[in-house]
Amino acid sequence: MSNTAKKRSAGPSPWVWEEGGLIRLMRWRREVSYHSAKSKKYKFSIVTENNHVNSRLRSKNYRFLTQMNQYLFTTPRLGFRTWLSFDLDEFASINSDPEVMRFFQQPLSRAETQAMMDRMQRMFEERGFCYFAVDLLETKELIGTIGLGWKTFESDFTPCVDIGWRIGKKWWNKNLASEGALACLNFAEQNQIEEVVSMASIGNVASIQVMKKIGMSFWKEFDHSELKNFPEIQRCSLYRKVF
């Protein structure tokens, strides 16, 4: 085998065999650099094709994706990655749950969820971070999103990098938000982000507890400029972590 052939065969295949057919799942696009906890540098990024993938194939597809090393980083229980087309059903279900969305303006429709996924994908391509899609490694289920965002709303502390999470009710009270958020802080530090903030409505005790648990310090309270029409959740607590 020639050196060229060896190099080509060494890379992951973008195809998976399933029930007698080949399903195109993803393609490699631009490279995104990040540093692992051991300071070894890797470069990769995966984005979805527009092809629809039947949810019935999800678990086998995830095994294939895992073999492709699609996770940007992991914790003992969680895998962090960019968004894929077949995440829509599960993420839309999470975003439409009134309990999950209690401290947001309103639950999101399927179309609004797709738009959010698209924004996150663009943010990752532009900045190297986003609110990541997060899988439970044991089952490969999407539990929701935990990650970093870029905030530009009107305030005296923006623009800034923010850490946030939104997890399906099925996975509450399992310490998954804290585990994932701490990993995202480590990711931020490894990528030379100097400061990360986190904010939540003052009534969102659970999220504020996560901020404390991952070592963030209370900064101040403020009225969120984008929540003027939602006075019951406008007053927010702001925490931060300086590296």
Where residue 110 sits, what CATH number does that domain have? 3.40.630.30
Q: Show Cβ contacts of residue 179 under 8 Å, excluding neighbours closer than 6 positions.
A: 75, 76, 77, 78
What is the C-alpha to C-alpha distance for residues 240 and 220, in angstroms, rounded to an integer? 10
Question: For residue 70, what pLDDT is reported?
Answer: 79
What residue numbers bound the domain in which 129 lies? 42-192
In a domain, 229, yes or no: no
In a domain, 164, yes or no: yes
Please write the tens of the pLDDT for every residue from 187-221: 999 999 999 999 999 999 999 999 999 999 999 99
Q: Is the pLDDT score of 28 beyond 50?
A: no
In a domain, 209, yes or no: no
Total domain count for the chain?
A: 1
In a domain, 62, yes or no: yes
Question: For residue 64, what pLDDT is reported?
Answer: 52
Burial of 145 (0-12, 13-18, 19+ CB in 10 A): buried
Higher pLDDT, 163 or 55: 163
Closest C-alpha to 228, from 152, 154, 119, 151: 154
Query: How far are the Cα atoms of 120, 151, 187, 193, 221 from residue 131, in angstroms, in the given order?
Result: 6, 12, 12, 15, 23
Q: Is the pLDDT score of 85 beyond 60?
A: yes
In a domain, 68, yes or no: yes
Q: Is the pLDDT score of 58 beyond 70?
A: no
- Among the listed ranges 68-72, 141-145, 147-151, which one has the minimum average pLDDT value? 68-72
Closest C-alpha to 104, from 64, 69, 145: 145
In a domain, 73, yes or no: yes
In a domain, 52, yes or no: yes
In a domain, 235, yes or no: no
Please write the tens of the pLDDT for every residue from 223-234: 999 999 999 999
